[in-house]
A and B are shown apart, each in its own frame.
Chain A
């Protein structure tokens, strides 16, 4: 979903304030502890529960406030189809990766309803495979109880100018880890 959480490249935000705090208040510690111990849902469903905050709440609640809202939401829903089955998302698969390092790829024009780990700022953009990672559980299906659908992940390098045009820093590049289903070969 193109939610408020998908912050990469959005404009209008000010300076990064050097707040070094991990927990501002004690309840934030408890939320962290609860998230690691008592959350029944898998990581993808947890992330999606965070993303389902109303946009104004997402920004106002702060990091652990969002976690709190997500654990409450998951506890209410108690959906058995997204129950965590394994602490780790790595999966051994027989299929070989489709793309190899150096290959030119394009991010497909996907407008996903629900959870995705495809940041909007790279959708439709062209890049190059920088690294081939192992296969992992596919968040877009796993978050919704539609199966693990494990597949390879790639670090795709995008030249900044391909993402942000002539306003971009000419000497920078962004690498984004993208699942195989998000990509197609670039002609």
Chain B
């Protein structure tokens, strides 16, 4: 099989010939997903849930609608379910069959999320995988793994770190990492 770059050129030329796409449209899509969407969107959802109990209730009842209140939605985010971490319960998301991921709130997934290692192992040995990724949970903490095998996409609502009562929303947003919304990290207090 030849160089993938050459194959892509040939494929793009074929699909252009069939009138299915223009290079400009492809450029625009790439630009949008690489630069306009990302985990900052999800962090805004999380911080709103931390600071507005009524929003948190709506978010857990109908994730899609509550996230749309903040202006986020679209492909791979049409059916959102938000799973909250609580004392003693930790949630983590995977897609074992492909690599489904909630694009509108997290952007495009990193390579490790799509790796066979993560997909194979996190359902079977979640505590060890989390530990390897830098998150050590107490043995008694229940781990809930969510395998997004259909069209529902999951976002983890991390717990608000202790001692952050005085921070405003913009400061809180900085504490919410992409990893904390996949469930492979906690939201960390400011250093």
Contacts and interface: CB of A to CB of B under 8 A. Distances in A.
A139 B149 CA distance: 11
28 contacts: A5-B97, A6-B97, A7-B119, A8-B119, A11-B124, A16-B112, A16-B118, A19-B111, A19-B115, A27-B4, A32-B29, A33-B30, A34-B12, A37-B20, A37-B21, A38-B15, A50-B98, A72-B11, A75-B14, A133-B150, A133-B152, A136-B151, A157-B144, A171-B141, A172-B142, A173-B142, A173-B143, A174-B145
A176 interface: yes
Contact of A131 (B81, B109, B111, B151): B81
A36 B28 CA distance: 11
Contacts of A157: 144
Nearest to A133: B152
A157 B146 CA distance: 9
Interface string A20-51: 11111111011111101110100000010010
Interface in A141-187: 153, 155, 157, 163-164, 168-169, 171-179
B139 A171 contact: yes
> Nearest 6 pairs between A and B by C-beta?
A8-B96, A33-B26, A38-B21, A177-B150, A19-B111, A172-B143
A22 to B, nearest CB: 5
Interface in A99-121: 117-119, 121
Contacts of B8: 27, 30-31, 34, 68
A26 B124 contact: no
Interface residues of A, number: 70
Contacts of A155: 81, 146, 152
B42 to A, nearest CB: 16
A11 B120 contact: yes
A32 B114 CA distance: 14
B142 A171 contact: yes
A33 B78 contact: no
A165 to B, nearest CB: 11
A1 B5 CA distance: 30
A12 to B, nearest CB: 8
A93 interface: no
Contacts of A13: 116-117, 120-121
Nearest to A9: B124
B15 A136 contact: no
